[in-house]
Structure 1
Amino acid sequence: MKQILFIDRDGVVLEEPPIDFQIDAIDKTNFVKGALTNLSRIAADFDFHKVMVTNQDGLGTNSYPEAQFYPYHDLMIRTLDSVGFQFDEMIIDRTFAADNLPTRKPGTGLLTHLMDNELFDLANSFVIGDRWSDIQLAINLGAKAIYFKSGLHELTPEQALAFTDTIVLETSSWDEVYSFLKLGLRKVHHERNTNETKISIDVNMDGSGKASIDTGLGFFDHMLDQIARHGKIDLTITTQGDLHIDEHHTIEDTGIALGEAFAKALSDKRGMERYGFALPMDEADAKVLIDFGGRNWLVWNADFKREKIGEMPTEMFFHFFKSFSDGAKCNLNIECKGDNEHHKIEVIFKAFAKAIRMAVKRDPISNYLPSTKGVL
């Protein structure tokens, strides 16, 4: 069975003019940055059935004559052909939104020949689009959506929540689209349950920095949020710990579980940088070096004078990073100097996140394993 790549036109392949949303002149015919290079790569590297699906309001009527559409549409087709990319099908709906016809996205009236068809694997197919209607089309087809953020059609918070399970990638970069199709997302769910704690973690190493953290310790939640935000990692952590006793098990076990989740997500290190570092940051002067090389070790050179920051004992900072290093099987070297205790630990977490972001970066064109041993 063949996967299908459904691709919107305006805002995804061609830049959409914000004035009237019509590409009807040569000076309004511009390719989205990176589209040509990466569509060429997609054509060369994959065997997708490639379908353009686009709504063109009133095409063929006085409001949008064909003579104002096809010269520039055909120019797009010829340009794509010159880099080795051809659409297998062009699906163009000409109706207005007010007509509310099933042929118009997100309706599937023009795509029924691809549905319930034993030749195609819709469940593992993708719709690439920049509007809510493209994501809804993916739902209606039983496919997944790549939300291409053109900047013109932002989702409402309600739509973003409703589409959470359908959108597999949010990006404004064709490089990232290609990388996702080539490498997939490093996305895992991990649980760690003991007599002291019950921990659930969802991590997407190729996310955008979204975080939902609930450990029962507000300051700890704030620090874990830094990992997601500055590491561009989507992170959901729920920890139920024996806080009626103290904070130790909650913090330590969360570190272990988070490290274990990273180890799962980074199990295939081909094409990965492996090493990351963040040099002195902010007024607190923190430095973090990390190596996801399969061996755990922690060097910790940071002293704290206060007993607690928020409700978090400062002695537990070391334990968190030691637990993460053990769980992730990584080397960590952390140094920090400064006067403000809050700023010191916050900048450590920020530098830690940036070092992670550097280390987990992948090259979709490379199959290189970053080790002379041949295994990591």
Structure 2
Amino acid sequence: MKKILFIDRDGTLIIEPKNKQVDSFDKLVFYPKVITYLRKIYLELDYELVLVTNQDGLGTSSFPEETFWPTHDLMLKVFNGEGILFSGIHIDKSFPKENASTRKPRTGMLKKYINNSNYDLKKSFVIGDRDSDMILAKNIGSKGIYINLENGKNKYKSNAESSVVLKSNNWEDVYKYLKLKERIVVEKRTTNETDIKIEINLDGSGKSSINTGIKFFDHMLDQVARHGKIDLSINVNGDLSVDEHHTIEDTGIVLGYAFRNALKDKS
């Protein structure tokens, strides 16, 4: 299934001017580093790019289309010239007061991607500079990446906070986050002496749940998780009535397999 980056336009790809309308060439300013790192994302990572933008009142007297399309088309031409291609472009022209089903964070513009077996929305992202983008991510079952030039990385609080996986003001951070693939492994092993299940997340925060039946061994494994910032869950049923040897040895073997498989893509 295809993964998608649903990307906002104003404030995300280009700088949003004070009057909120990029209606002349002198107002077309690209977000810092966006061309460099969006190109790397497009060429190196397995994502389709889809542009999703609200353009309040586009086509009305307050925002004539003839002032919009020349700058918009030039923006796309610059991206295309750098090898950055958008597979879809979705523009809502309504005003907020209209409550249109197609206006972000509502999902009307993205119906073709929802409940479509060709797309993996759980592994897709919405990238934008407003809370409406993060709520859109939640509404379609994706994750949100909040990028805003005027905000520090940790000051922004979203109404869809549980869906936000990254807050930044830098496209380089977005690239690095997407390049770092999820490194989570579940490893199981059953022998005549032991039954072991280990779950490891190399990009965790140091949380652990350890139960080997040997308290000091549990403590030492907890330290691996805590100081390595690794999430680690270990459950072992061993023949401790015989001795501790099999439990310790087999846990070490399975933990080694888990590390190896989590690191198999070292790029």
With the length of structure 2 as denominator, give the TM-score of the two structures. Answer: 0.70
1:165: Cα distance to partner?
1.7
The farther-off stretch of 3-12 and 144-153 is 144-153
Separation in 2, partners of 1:56, 1:258: 52
Aligned residue in 1 for 2:75: 76
| Counterpart residue identity of residue 10, structure 1 | D
State how 1:1-376 maps to structure 2 within 5 Å. 1-17=1-17, 19-151=18-150, 159-160=157-158, 162-184=159-181, 186-188=203-205, 190-191=207-208, 257=222, 260-263=225-228, 265=230, 367=267
Question: How far apart are residue 151 of structure 1 and its match?
Answer: 1.9
Q: Which amino acid aligns with 2:7?
A: I
C-alpha deviations, 1:39-63, integer Å up to 9, x for none?
Answer: 1111111231211000000001101
Task: Quickly say closer, same or farther: Cα 1:263–1:72, change in 2 above 3 A.
Answer: same
Shift of 1:261: 3.0
Alignment check: 8 A CA contact 2:34 2:171 kept: yes
* 1:131–1:154 Cα contact (<8 Å) kept: no
Percent of aligned pairs sharing the same letter:
39
* SS in structure 1 of the partner of residue 30 of structure 2: coil
Segments of 4+ in structure 1 off by > 3 A?
Answer: 152-157, 255-259, 264-267
Shift of 1:257: 4.7
Cα deviation 1:63-100 (Å, max 9, x = unaligned)? 10011111100110000011100100000000000111
Q: Deviation string for 1:4-37 (max 9, x for gaps)?
A: 11000001100111x2111111111010001000
Conserved? CA contact 1:33–1:174, under 8 Å: yes
| Structure 2 stretches lacking a partner, 5+ long | 183-202, 212-218, 233-265
CA distance in 1, matches of 2:37, 2:150: 20
Query: What is aligned with 1:211?
Result: none
C-alpha contact 1:127 1:144 (8 A) present in aligned 2: yes
- The code of the aligned residue for 1:105 comes to K
Shift of the alpha carbon at 1:152? 7.0
Q: Distance in 2 between matches of 1:187 and 1:24?
A: 44
Q: 1:92-145 CA deviation, whole Å, 9 max, x = no partner?
A: 000000111110000111111110000000011000001000000001100000
In structure 2, relative to structure 1, the CA distance for the partners of 1:52 and 1:168 (3 Å cut) is: same
Q: Unmatched 5+ residue regions in structure 1?
A: 195-252, 268-365, 368-376
Distance in 1 between residues matched to 2:125 and 2:222, nearest whole Å: 32
Alignment length, in residue pairs? 207
Counterparts in 2 of 1:193 and 1:181: CA distance versus 1, 3 Å: closer
The amino acid of 2:142's aligned partner reads A
Report the residue type matching 2:88 in the other structure: E
Q: Secondary structure at the match of 1:116?
A: coil
> Residue 44 of structure 1 aligns to a residue in which SS?
helix
Amino acid of the residue matched to residue 132 of structure 2? S
* In 1: Cα distance, 2:168 partner to 2:161 partner: 14
Please provide the CA RMSD for this pair. Answer: 2.8
Aligned partner of residue 187 in structure 1, secondary structure: coil
| Whole-Å separation in 2 of the counterparts to 1:189 and 1:124 | 24
CA contact (8 A) 1:131 1:155 kept: no
Structure 1: distance between partners of 2:174 and 2:153: 18
Read off the aligned partner of 1:20 and give its amino acid letter.
N
| CA–CA separation in structure 2 for the residues paired with 1:22 and 1:29 | 10
**Bigger RCO (CA 8 Å, 6+ sep):** 2
Whether the 8 Å contact between 1:131 and 1:153 is mirrored in structure 2 is no
User: Could you tell me how far apart the structure 1 residues matched to 2:154 and 2:81 are?
Assistant: 34
1:148 and 1:51 mapped to 2: Cα distance? Answer: 16
